Amino acid sequence: MESLSEATQEYLESIYWLYESGIERTQANLARALQVSQPSVSEMLRRMVDDDLVSRDDAKLINFTDRGREVAERIVARHRLVEAYLVKVMGIPWDDVHEEAHAMEHSISPRLEAKMLEMIGDVHTCPHGHPIGDYPREPGEPLPSVPVGSTIVVLRLENEAEEMLHYMKRHAVEPGHTYTVAARRGEGEEAETELAGESGSVWVQDALARTVSVRVDDRGDGEISALGAAAAELQLVGPDRWGM
Ligand SMILES: [Zn+2]
Ligand SMILES: [Zn+2]
């Protein structure tokens, strides 16, 4: 793995994210997730095919080879471990660690990695709720699809783009926390959901909240948002750098 360039490792991480988010693994979507041009993606994918990391099927979708998946799993596990370490051991705010981990994750030795794993103790997910290593990924529902009156627990912030994490932190939307879906208002892209939690109540934009996966502990029978059934691809859109 150490012989792979940082760029290759980042591609593997992004492809892994497309798999997990259920976003179609096309060259265009990968280019959007990585914020690079399609010709660069095309060239890199050719090299990755030669290196037996990915293959392209008849529909041009990008698939991991066994080797590609194995390497990607290790890189992603390390990214999440570093995030958990930065929050739990170093006390860095959880909305700042994704970029930090991204910068650090390529230069950590296996020995340091093992030590960090020991130091995070019983933490099994990154601070955004994504499982580290083999820890199971609990299925969830997008927040806007949950009826008003429901009691929910936030499982994961599926999209770790910096702006998205800052937004969720500002609105106290945090993995592991419990909320009541209190009300809905607005239409289309303006739609919003009110969440009542321990520290009061907030309105969150459904366009962003559809990247929040929740578990429903008690299902209400109120309104659901029109943005609830939005396609997974919408996780890629946004003002700046949504997507990973
Ligand atoms: Zn991250
Ligand atoms: Zn994370």
Higher per-residue pLDDT: 229 or 151:
151
Whether pLDDT at 241 is above 50: no
DSSP bridge partners of 54 = 64
- CATH for the stretch 1-136: 1.10.10.10
Phi, psi values for residue 73, rounded to 5°: -60, -40
- Give the pLDDT score at 238: 53
Residue ranges per structural domain of the chain: 1-136, 141-236
Q: If DSSP codes are grouped into helix, strand and coil, which group holds residue 181?
A: strand
Residue-wise pLDDT for 175-195, tens only, equals 999 999 999 999 888 899 999
Q: Are strands 212-218 and 200-205 parallel, antiparallel or unpaired?
A: unpaired
Whether pLDDT at 243 is above 60: no
Q: What separation in angstroms does the CA of 94 have from each of 42, 101, 120, 124?
A: 34, 11, 14, 15
Query: Which ligand ends up closest to the CA of 14?
Result: 1
Task: Indicate if 141-236 has the same CATH topology as 1-136.
Answer: no
Higher per-residue pLDDT: 187 or 216:
216
Q: If DSSP codes are grouped into helix, strand and coil, which group holds residue 45?
A: helix
Cα 101 to middle of ligand 1, angstroms: 7
Rounded CA gap, 155 and 214, in Å? 5
Residue 208 near residue 237 (C-beta atoms within 8 A) = no
Helices 162-170 and 97-104: crossing angle in degrees, nearest 10, is 150
Residue-wise pLDDT for 49-98, tens only, equals 999 999 999 889 999 999 999 999 999 999 999 999 999 999 999 999 99
Cα 220 to middle of ligand 1, angstroms: 32
Phi, psi values for residue 119, rounded to 5°: -75, -20
Q: Are strands 212-218 and 151-157 parallel, antiparallel or unpaired?
A: antiparallel
Cα 58 to middle of ligand 2, angstroms: 33
Cα 223 to middle of ligand 2, angstroms: 30
- Give the pLDDT score at 229: 63
Residue 135 near residue 219 (C-beta atoms within 8 A) = no
Cα 14 to middle of ligand 2, angstroms: 13
Whether pLDDT at 106 is above 90: no
Cα 15 to middle of ligand 1, angstroms: 14
Q: Which amino acid is at 58?
A: D
Looking at domain 141-236, its CATH class is mainly beta
- Give the pLDDT score at 59: 87
Span 153-168, average pLDDT: 93
Cα 181 to middle of ligand 1, angstroms: 27
- Residue 151 burial by CB count (10 A; 0-12/13-18/19+): exposed, middle or buried? middle
Rounded CA gap, 48 and 8, in Å? 8
> What's the first-to-final CA gap in the chain, in angstroms?
21
